[in-house]
Amino acid sequence: MRKLVIFFIPLLIIFALPKEYLIPIKTLPPELKADLPKIKETKIIKERNSFSSWQPIGRVDTVFFSTYDWQFNSHGWQRIYNDPQRGVHVTGITSLQASPFPDRNMRYNFYDRATQSWAFGQDGIDALNARAGFGNLDVNPMEGNEFIVGHVAGTQRFIPRIGKDIAPGQGIFDYADCQEGYLWPPIAITNNGWVHVAAVEDDPGQARDRIFYIRMRDWPTPEEPVLIAPEPGQPIAPQGNSQGIFASKISNKVVIYWTEWDGTGPDSGAYRISTDGGETWSDVIPFPFPEIFTPGSETLPELWLPSVGGFFDREDRPNFVLCFTPNIRDTGRIIPVEMWHYVPGRNPELTRICRIMPDTLAATVGYNAIFAGRPSIGQNLQNGNLYVVWEQFDPVNYEPQTQRLRADIWGTASTDGGLTWLPPKRITEPDQTSKRFPFLAPIVDDMCWITYLIDPIAGFYVQGEHSLATCAFVVHQVPRRYLDETGIAETKGNKLFNLKVYPNPIRNRAYLSISLEKETKVNIFLTDINGRIVMNLLDKNLSKGNHNYQFRISKELRNGIYFLTIKANTLTERYKLIINH
């Protein structure tokens, strides 16, 4: 079921900014008074130091390039694996040519800890020996070598093809084919080295709506496929590419999960687990739903395609991250997003990670997306801290060419096994690119190893939304302390000065209102997205109470994103503005 995208066409006669100092006014104008109840909470940033230019957090390496900017329809599949002894493996769908992408393949690169460099530079290598795509990777814990899968064309139908490296990071692959007639085949590998595949049946003339399990105990011989997901019409029936798989590295447990999207009501999801390496499987286990989005009303929570991520923790328990969105009378919405952590058997099984609700949307999120989704989860094996990473759209940063919002990568952490979660933090900063399809390596050491695609044009060339562009696949090493220690966080939970700016967006002038609890030295200024101050507005002592100002718009500033920043003592509040002359 397609989501109803809440799409505000940028009639955002969007912010322009002052050349003059703030002009104090004793009372707010009538139009502002009338609209004050409609003004929502601003986004806050607490800082110990003054605001400075944003620098990338950690290290960002380009590992290959692609014109193929659409990676998968559904939930995130494992695209990166951190082997603390040997190195980091990464893959993604790439092509260096235009549609119909004759060179499409699963690309591969390897970060060698011995040399502290990427084995295949910024280019990577093709992992499969035919035109392929829509796969992932996992690592054999017994030998440390990687396996990469993708579907390739057969005589009449698709075939899952698995590439097995002869040694960790060598890039010399041997190949094994599963049975013809299956596609979209993510893999996972258990502690005993068995390869497990969750593929969709490719039956000509029929709906691609049945998920099959294929096991390979002895290379290169696959076993007969086994039906995993229910038949259509039964509860929680899948449709299309809606599945994922993950496996334990300390036992032979495997999980296959999926969501429905058949348009018959709020979409749900379920999983099946095998504790014996795929010999036997549990019954279908529905995901639990929290009581959110006005329980008892016509608004119900649902899961959709980009909503689920999972892994096995160091206690060998399956962990899921579930992103719920509201469904009203069989129509899905993309906001707000409630992100929850689910561990079967834990008390409580469900804990809330965060709630994400933008104040406004300047454009649409685009094809097969919700406002915050495609989560993945990992853990530091020494202290047990959990980490979650996802893609999240910026509500006011959009691509004029495609009218699509640009996305950034966000993350958070839990230091108590997922019972409570720290406020989300933005890992990448808004600019003229869109960061999509993130995946966090399940094993976290001193770094959270995250791969994602940087698209210079928001929207998808593969889906016909814009002209050809070359995207970069990167691996971002984010120090885990950035996520698991308190510090700079963008949240709606703190209202330092009760800041309000009206209207939002603005054309010629704007009104600003702040409230102080005591006499304070206040500095108000305007910065661009790089932190450069482009206008000093106010620098003086203000008395306790409310203060109202107006400022005019300068046409000298270029269109783009700016931040109105207020500093008082050691506290800083930022309000995002846009100039669009």
pLDDT digits (tens, 9 = 90+) for 29-86: 444 444 333 333 323 222 222 223 344 589 999 999 999 999 988 899 999 999 999 9
Calculate mean pLDDT across residues 494-509.
Answer: 63
Query: Taking a C-beta distance cutoff of 8 angstroms, is the pair 150, 140 a contact?
Result: no
Is the pLDDT score of 244 beyond 90?
Answer: yes
User: Quick one: 262 exposed, middle or buried, by C-beta within 10 A (0-12, 13-18, 19+)?
Assistant: middle
Render the burial of 464-473: b for 16+ CB within 10 Å, e for the rest: ebbeeeebbb
* Residue type for position 573: E
Q: Look at 7-16, 419-428, 480-489 and tell me which has the smallest mean pLDDT.
A: 7-16
Indicate the average pLDDT of the chain: 86
pLDDT at 559: 65
Beta-bridge mates of residue 471: 66
Chain-centroid distance, C-alpha 42: 23
pLDDT at 52: 30
Q: Label residue 579 by pLDDT band (50, 70, 90).
A: low
Range 59-486: architecture per CATH: 7 Propeller (2.130)
pLDDT tens-digit series, residues 507-538: 667 777 788 878 888 888 888 766 778 888 88
- Name the more confident of 505 and 117: 117
Q: Label residue 255 by pLDDT band (50, 70, 90).
A: very high
Q: Label residue 504 by pLDDT band (50, 70, 90).
A: low
Determine how β-strand 308-312 pairs with β-strand 318-328.
Answer: antiparallel
pLDDT at 560: 65
pLDDT at 574: 75
pLDDT tens-digit series, residues 362-379: 999 999 999 999 999 999
Query: Taking a C-beta distance cutoff of 8 angstroms, is the pair 384, 314 a contact?
Result: yes
- Name the more confident of 173 and 204: 173
Q: Label residue 567 by pLDDT band (50, 70, 90).
A: confident
Query: Taking a C-beta distance cutoff of 8 angstroms, is the pair 471, 456 a contact?
Result: yes
Q: Is the pTM of this model over 0.85?
A: no
CA atoms of 146 and 174, how far apart (whole Å): 11
Query: Taking a C-beta distance cutoff of 8 angstroms, is the pair 202, 214 a contact?
Result: no
Query: Taking a C-beta distance cutoff of 8 angstroms, is the pair 574, 44 a contact?
Result: yes
- Domain limits of the chain? 23-48+492-579, 59-486
Give the neighbor-by-neighbor strand order of the sheet with 404-414.
425-426, 404-414, 386-399, 372-380, 443-444
pLDDT at 488: 35
CA atoms of 467 and 247, how far apart (whole Å): 39
Is the pLDDT score of 239 beyond 70?
Answer: yes
CATH number (2.60.40.1930, 1.10.287.110, 2.40.50.140, 1.10.4030.10) of 23-48+492-579 reads 2.60.40.1930
